[in-house]
Amino acid sequence: MPSPTALFSASEIRDIERAAQTTLPAGTLMQRAGEAAAELALELIQSAGDTANVLILAGPGNNGGDALEAAYRLAQGSLEVTIVLCADPARQPLNARQALLRAQSSAACFVDTDLRDDLFAEKWDLVIDGLFGIGLTRAIDSTVRPLVQAVNVLACPVLSLDVPSGLDADTGNIVGENGIAIRASHTITFIGNKPGLHTAHGKDYAGAVRVASLDIDEACFIPFHAELNDVRLFSSHLRLRMHNSHKGSYGDVTVIGGARGMGGAAILAARAAAKSGAGRVYAAFIDDAPTHDSLQPELMCRNAVDHDFASGTFVAGPGLGISSTARNILERALNAQVPLVLDADALNLIAADTKLQTLAARHASPLILTPHPLEAARLLGVSSATIQDDRLAAARQLARLFNATIVLKGSGTVIATPGDNAVINTTGNPALATAGTGDVLAGMCGALLAQGWPEREAAVGAAWLHGHAADVLVEQGIGPTGLTASELIPAIRASLNQLINKNAQHGRTL
């Protein structure tokens, strides 16, 4: 069993499968997949009682085989199991054909796909989606499309096998132009977890994901190149403060931004840095600096041109604007060999200026870039749709290009560092889809760097805490609608302290 947070591409899953199959009787993995799926199905229909009505959709390939194996098992008891077979048995892969024979020998009832209207007039307690798995190569076509559309408006739970049919397991996008996919409430994914279930459209289509490793021998698992975010990835930096410490022990953060009309962005980033534990925080404004922040008077507000760039950690970009003053200040920050977080307009300025690109790529101190998809698109000279087509690939490409840690934001934020596994964040929700939350994230990255966290851990830890704080607030009814970036900041502080305390060993820092 690999790490529970490991993510595998479809081609890696096929390699593992091939290795496992050499030592197992034919059909074993499919039977195990069917068994695991049936087990979860029974959990999902528990409240419906022994006579629940289960509709099972089985496609033409091995995913359909998994569904037929699950059907065979579920039909052993008193459940009403109905199967829609969207396959020509003569063309099924051998194991799936065997599974079909078993399902045909059971009490399950097969219905014709043409009976669609009658079919969906019934009250189902659960739909199992075994139409397509990782073998889908083109958009779901017109024969199966109406079935998918009908399932997507049902109120009952929908359990997808391996991946929601129509979703790309690698990228979390819908397969093919004008494609369609099943919107599952639950997905049981086989052998290993898959990136596409957790980023782009993944979370909306896969629902709650469970991994069934099918008891595959550990030796068959190849090293993984991507993983889900987890506190373990940064827990060694969640340290209690030494009693004998002072503000200088926790670093200085300077936020560079806040051009006229966008002062709030710099303030949000600076407040987030202060509440994420930075010892001292400066807000360096491109245009006129306010004398102070009356809600957070401990921030030191000043004009960026007067600031000393020689030491400390810098967060450049929130509300920076793209004026020539902004550009020149950014160049100073890039030239200073200081830990640096680049966000928002700092990224836009760099995208438009080859000299700044070279400086960023040569920056010898820790460097974190926090683009949203459009900023990432500008940096790579492509469209934001191209970035979203493969978020992992885009983040990795940027990491290589800038030799930096990239935080590609959005649903399932991707963090990529050169030479290390890409990480997909697991926390957060659409409450964060509101102005200013990105400024908060940039400020947090700066604060963690200033406290000595390495760049990858700072990025991964900031993304996790940022999302977790939003999850806690939504649980309390503060969002998702109407959560503001300002409200996120104290919740981040609470999450950080909670994690540090949880991680402490008997009140000691180890």
Ligand X SMILES: NC(=O)C1=CN([C@@H]2O[C@H](COP(=O)(O)OP(=O)(O)OC[C@H]3O[C@@H](n4cnc5c(N)ncnc54)[C@H](O)[C@@H]3O)[C@@H](O)[C@H]2O)[C@@H](O)CC1
Ligand Y SMILES: Nc1ncnc2c1ncn2[C@@H]1O[C@H](COP(=O)(O)OP(=O)(O)O)[C@@H](O)[C@H]1O
* Residues of the binding site: 62-66, 129, 133-139, 162, 165, 265, 319, 372, 409-413, 438-439
In the set 430, 484, 486, 500, which binds ligand Y (CB under 6 A)?
Answer: 430
Q: Distance from CA of residue 348 to its chain's centroid?
A: 24
Segment near ligand Y (CB under 6 A), from 5-13, 84-92, 168-176, 404-412?
404-412
Q: What string marks each residue from 341 to 360 as x (binds ligand Y by CB under 6 A) or -? A: ---x----------------
Rounded to the nearest whole angstrom, what is the least distance from the CB of residue 192 to K ion in the complex?
16
Which residue, 33 or 469, is less far from K ion as judged by CB? 33
Check binding of 397 to ligand Y (CB under 6 A).
no
In the set 6, 29, 463, 470, which binds ligand X (CB under 6 A)?
Answer: 29
Which residue, 31 or 437, is less far from ligand X as judged by CB? 31
Q: Distance from CA of residue 250 to its chain's centroid?
A: 30
**CA distance from start to end of the chain:** 30
In the set 16, 161, 226, 458, which binds ligand X (CB under 6 A)?
Answer: 161
Select from ligand X, K ion, ligand Y, none the partner in contact with residue 190, using the beta carbon and a kind-dependent cut-off of 5 to 8 Å: ligand X
Place of tokens 């459940």: 79
Which residue, 24 or 478, is less far from ligand X as judged by CB? 24
Within residues 149-168, the interface with K ion by CB under 5 A covers: 160-161, 165
Check binding of 62 to ligand X (CB under 6 A).
yes
Select from ligand X, ligand Y, K ion, none the partner in contact with residue 160, using the beta carbon and a kind-dependent cut-off of 5 to 8 Å: K ion
Rounded to the nearest whole angstrom, what is the least distance from the CB of residue 472 to ligand Y in the complex?
14
Q: How far apart are CA 212 and CA 218, in angstroms?
A: 14
| Of the candidates 345, 187, 316, the residue with the CA atom closest to the CA atom of residue 253 | 316
In the set 22, 137, 354, 481, which binds ligand X (CB under 6 A)?
Answer: 137
Check binding of 426 to K ion (CB under 5 A).
no
Q: Give me the amino acid identity at 235.
A: S
List of long-range contacts for 412-421, beta carbons under 8 Å, 24+ apart:
412/172, 412/198, 412/199, 412/200, 412/202, 412/203, 413/199, 413/463, 413/467, 414/199, 415/229, 415/456, 415/459, 415/460, 415/463, 416/392, 417/455, 417/456, 417/459, 420/456, 421/224, 421/225, 421/226, 421/227
Within residues 4-63, the interface with ligand Y by CB under 6 A covers: none
Within residues 115-134, the interface with ligand X by CB under 6 A covers: 132-134
Tokens encoding 266 = 């710099």
Check binding of 372 to ligand Y (CB under 6 A).
yes
Q: How far apart are CA 257 and CA 255, in angstroms?
A: 6
Judged by DSSP in three states, 496 sits in helix
Rounded to the nearest whole angstrom, what is the least distance from the CB of residue 229 to ligand Y in the complex?
12
Within residues 132-151, the interface with ligand Y by CB under 6 A covers: none
What's the sign of the alpha-carbon dihedral 126, 131, 134, 139? negative
DSSP conformation letters of 310-373: SSSEEEE-TT--SSHHHHHHHHHHHHS-S-EEE-HHHHHHHHT-HHHHHHHHH--S-EEE---H
Check binding of 171 to K ion (CB under 5 A).
no
Q: How far apart are CA 404 and CA 500, in angstroms?
A: 27
In the set 41, 45, 60, 275, which binds ligand X (CB under 6 A)?
Answer: 60
Q: Could you list the residues that contact ligand Y (CB under 6 A)?
A: 344, 372, 409-411, 413, 428-430, 432-433, 435-439, 441, 466
Q: Could you list the residues that contact K ion (CB under 5 A)?
A: 63, 129, 160-161, 165
